[in-house]
Structure 1
Amino acid sequence: MAITLRDWGYIVADDDEATRAIRRPREPRAAAGQPAYPVPGGAGDGRSAPGDRGSAGAGGGRDKSETTIPRMRSKVYGKPRSGETPVRPLGGGSGGEDDDLREEQPGFGGRGGGRRPRRIGRLIVRILAVVVAVLLVASVVGYFWIGSRLKSVDAFTDYSGRPAATPGDDWLLVGSDSRAGLTAAQRRKLATGKAVGKRTDTMMLLHIPSSGRPTLVSLPRDSYVPIEGHGNDKLNAAYAFGGPKLLTKTVERVTGIRIDHYMEIGFGGFVGIVDAIGGVNICVKQDIKDHKAGINLKKGCQDMDGGTALGYVRTRATGAIPDYDRTQRQRQFFAAVVQKAASPGTLLNPFSSVPLALSAADSVAVDPDTGLFDLLSVGLAMRGGPVTTAVPVGSLPTINGAAVVKWDTQKALRLFEALAQDKQVPKDVLTK
């Protein structure tokens, strides 16, 4: 006697010798009136019933024409397992209860098998969303917090005859010899000396055009120019006489360009910024040994930390015109520092961008209308490399016992007119 348990896909056959349970998948439903599964020994089965072994052949073996029990499809490889009868694809049943039960089982590739991966995927998406939200909030908070730490300095004044606003952005970049914030040990290590107060060792005019490459112009500190209320004197004397306001006013008058932003940095801040970005690679044109600047450099490209870099831009031990030669190194180093600071490797790395931002905020002084975003815009504009030059020199006379630099008036006028009109500087007025 055989009983078919269709709900579970079992056929239980009972005979005199043993009870056997054979599990097999549900076959496609037959036409009405036909059994859904062939019963051993039944019509169309091709096999004898369990108790009728003799009919299978003289040797009692199985006839090769017997139908093989269908095999399950492999979930892993998606291929039928070995067997003689083709196996119907999973999910292709008639929708009976056994199909639903099979779908619930993880090993059968149904709904149960995909639930855990989907839950894990949703969890990952939620975690990423939280991380992004936290980073955005931290970035906004950090931006305003660091921006609030910027030192502000009054650098502009309105006066009769002040140049009108010009296209693009014009920055006056000032490097002073201020030792503020340096300990006695740091002064000895950096060879900065014991001078008090501060003077403008470096002055550069940076013009960022509406489009195209920016132009970085060195203004030699010994430039002999008119200073309001003090006659003609060296350009750096304007800072000594009247601070940032008088210096900015003097630069505007001699160049005809209205300054939009002012930025000043001392020795200590310069060292901190260079160290924050992990140093800068600079190619030295010749051996330089200067105990006053604390350096002993060999010719060739090399990485410089903050202390070495400070000596490199300060030394006056090279060139027929020491101050003029120094302005070349200052432009070279400023461009290299800004480009590295604005590189993705620095900005996207919190271990370098955060120290850089903090160091800049604590050591840079800017006019009240200049913020952190303006400083970042300088770096982004300089990434492609600026056009660098110095004011064309006409002569190097000695006046009142001091060596000064007189500009080539005609070439200097053409240089500054091009910048004021946001045009490319003529090549014949560019200097190395």
Structure 2
Amino acid sequence: MSAKRDRVSVIGLPRDSLATIPAYRPTPSGKQRPAHPVKLNNAHTEGGAPLVERTVEAATGVSVEQYLQLDFRRFIDAVDQAGGVEVGTKRRLKDSKTKLNLAPGRHLLKGGQSLQYVRSRHVDQSADPGRIQRQQRFLVAALEQLTARKVLTDPVLMGRVARTLLGPPRSGRASGRTV
């Protein structure tokens, strides 16, 4: 987020990117684990969000001040509470793994279909980069539509969406830092 809080940037990191997990002490063993190279998504498997934070900071040099970890249910519920998200596609998007099947054109996606849209990696040859691009387009569309529908300024609607997204235990401050 910009210093003036008028702009947000999102950087997508492909899950299969090679990264070095910094040395850490896993629980419950408490034994020091040395730094080691892995696919980025393995950092979460090994040490949850705190280790992902440290790994991303080490790989990019960018400080992670806050994070939001969503499970599929919270994502689906938040999209539904916001009234869905309209997206456009120039060609058919069909993914047998996620069961996404969108004809060319504009679509108002409810929660479940939105999850299929942002998770699909098998609609073309673009794999993770294509999925990241769809996720970024989805976030931009969602923010534009939340603004246009005045959800962001309606305390009742925004409260519902915020409680869904930010409810414990799936949100936090990176490394306990207060921002």
Q: TM-score, normalised by structure 1?
A: 0.35
Task: Give 2:172's aligned residue.
Answer: 366
1:255 has 2:60 as partner: yes
Task: Give 1:341's aligned residue.
Answer: 146
Segments of 5+ residues of structure 1 without an aligned counterpart are 1-207, 375-432
Instruction: Give me the whole-angstrom Cα distance separating, in 2, the residues matched to 1:353 and 1:215.
Output: 21
Segments of 5+ residues of structure 2 without an aligned counterpart are 23-33
1:267 has 2:61 as partner: no
> Does the aligned pair in 1 maintain the 2:84–2:109 contact within 8 Å?
yes
TM-aligned CA deviation for residue 244 of structure 1? 1.3
Say which structure, 1 or 2, has more relative contact order (CA 8 Å, 6+ apart).
2
Task: Give 2:15's aligned residue.
Answer: 221
SS at the partner of 2:129? helix
**2:172 partner amino acid:** V
SS at the partner of 1:215? coil
Instruction: Give me the whole-angstrom Cα distance separating, in 2, the residues matched to 1:345 and 1:336.
Output: 14
Task: Give 1:237's aligned residue.
Answer: 42
Instruction: Give me the whole-angstrom Cα distance separating, in 2, the residues matched to 1:325 and 1:340.
Output: 22
TM-aligned CA deviation for residue 344 of structure 1? 6.1
TM-aligned CA deviation for residue 324 of structure 1? 1.3
**2:95 partner amino acid:** D
Please say which structure displays the higher CA radius of gyration: 1
> Does the aligned pair in 1 maintain the 2:89–2:104 contact within 8 Å?
yes
TM-aligned CA deviation for residue 369 of structure 1? 5.2
- TM-aligned CA distance change 1:282 to 1:215, over 3 Å: same
TM-aligned CA deviation for residue 292 of structure 1? 2.4
1:210 has 2:18 as partner: no
TM-aligned CA deviation for residue 227 of structure 1? 1.6
Instruction: Give me the whole-angstrom Cα distance separating, in 2, the residues matched to 1:220 and 1:332.
Output: 16
Counterpart selection for 1:300 from 98, 101, 105: 105
> Does the aligned pair in 1 maintain the 2:81–2:160 contact within 8 Å?
yes
Instruction: Give me the whole-angstrom Cα distance separating, in 2, the residues matched to 1:291 and 1:352.
Output: 34
Instruction: Give me the whole-angstrom Cα distance separating, in 2, the residues matched to 1:369 and 1:303.
Output: 38
- TM-aligned CA distance change 1:308 to 1:262, over 3 Å: same
**2:135 partner amino acid:** Q
> Does the aligned pair in 2 maintain the 1:269–1:362 contact within 8 Å?
no
What is the Cα-based RMSD across aligned positions, in Å?
2.3
> Does the aligned pair in 2 maintain the 1:288–1:317 contact within 8 Å?
no
Deviation per CA, 1:186-220: give whole Å up to 9, x if none: xxxxxxxxxxxxxxxxxxxxxx2224643221111
Task: Give 2:27's aligned residue.
Answer: none
1:312 has 2:117 as partner: yes
